Structure 1
Amino acid sequence: MKTIDYYNQNADQFVASTFHVAMGELYQPFINHLSDCAIILDLGCGTGRDSLAFKKLGYQVEAIDFSEELVAKAKGLTGINVRQQSFYELDEQDKYHGIWACASLLHCDRENLADVMLRILNALKVNGILYMSFKYGESDREKDGRAFTDLNEQQAQDLLNQLEGFQPLKQWITVDQRPDREEEWLNLLWKKHA
Structure 2
Amino acid sequence: MELDPRDLDKISAVTLQHYEVHAEDFRIGTCDHDVTQNIAALLRHIEVETPLTILDFGCGPGRDLKAFTTLGHRAIGLDGAEPFVAMARDATGCDVWHQDFLHLDLPAEHFDGVFANAALFHVPSQALPRVLRQLHATLKPGGVLFSSNPRGANQEGWNQGRYGVFHDLEAWRRYMADAGFVELEHYYRPAGLPRERQPWLASVWRKPVA
Q: What range is the shorter-chain TM-score in?
A: over 0.9
- Deviations along 1:75-98, whole A, 9 cap, x unmatched? 111111211112331331000000
TM-score by length of 2: 0.86
Q: Aligned pair 1:28/2:40, yes or no? A: yes
Q: Give unpaired runs (5+ residues) of structure 1.
A: 177-181
Q: What is the aligned partner in structure 2 of residue 60 from structure 1?
A: 74
Q: List aligned pairs for 1:38-117, cutoff 5 A.
A: 38-88=52-102, 89-117=104-132
Within 2, Cα distance between the matches of 1:141 and 1:87?
A: 17
Amino acid at match of 1:107: H
The question of whether the paired residues in 2 share the 8 Å contact of 1:90 and 1:120 is answered with no
Within 2, Cα distance between the matches of 1:169 and 1:58?
A: 24
- Deviations along 1:89-129, whole A, 9 cap, x unmatched? 13310000000010111110111111000000100001100
Question: Structure 1 runs of 4+ off > 2 angstroms?
Answer: none
1:157 to partner: Cα distance: 2.0
C-alpha RMSD of the superposition: 1.4
Amino acid at match of 1:91: L
Q: Give unpaired runs (5+ residues) of structure 2.
A: 1-12, 192-196
- Deviations along 1:158-189, whole A, 9 cap, x unmatched? 2134223x11000111139xxxxx66111110
Amino acid at match of 1:140: E
Within 2, Cα distance between the matches of 1:131 and 1:37?
A: 18
